[in-house]
Structure 1
Amino acid sequence: MLQRASWRLAVLMGANSRTYKFALGQALLEFGRTGQEEVLFAEFAAAYSLGMVRHLAQDPRAPHPVELGEKDFLTVADQESAVTLDAGRPTERLLAAAVRSMPMMVMQKFHNLRGDSAVPTPSMS
């Protein structure tokens, strides 16, 4: 029950203001359904990237007030979305951008709530 409530808190009340959490959540659920206990980071980044471009195709993001440049993951996702969707897998450029950005952005922010708090998690002891 706590896991479901924690998941709901992260998705609905997460402090991040961009769309990363939807693609991350989708990738986590995708691998969770397979029962895999370990996933290679590149394999996870590929699922995350594909989820991101699919999400952006359905629900385009609002314009960002500051141009973030060619190294920004969402900028690359926008630029690589057509080729990625046609191929059914992320381009090498998009995958590289995901691998570069995931540890610093979404993996650090997914569980944070507004007001400098984090989603409660059960003890692993």
Structure 2
Amino acid sequence: MTEERALCRLEEIADGKARGFPGVSGGFMGLLAARQGGRVRVYVNACPHIGVPLEIMPDRFLDGAGRRIVCAVHGATFRIEDGFCLTGPCAGDSLEAVPARIDAEGTIWVPAEAGA
């Protein structure tokens, strides 16, 4: 079985919002988790264009409507559902998805090395 680490409880991310998490062991890249109802999608917090973190202000990953992930540096937009880039300099690329699961107590788990 793959080692896992807990990110947070699902209830700690408001529905229609996203939250950032630091990289493991002081790594530069962290993770972002976007919640839609009882589902959460987790991605490496790096724009595929040049690898910069997607947000400038903490936890500001989504557009005003909460429907797309937005790179604050280049304005690229990504579908929350699969991380696919719709517009911007990396159109056609995708965010790096991280497998995530929610246990019966509502805790979000990801592989231990994710976001290293």
- Normalising by the residue count of structure 1, what TM-score does the alignment of the two structures yield? 0.30
Report the structure, 1 or 2, having the larger strand content. Answer: 2
From the two aligned structures, give the one with the greater helix fraction. Answer: 1
Length-normalised TM-score, structure 2 = 0.31
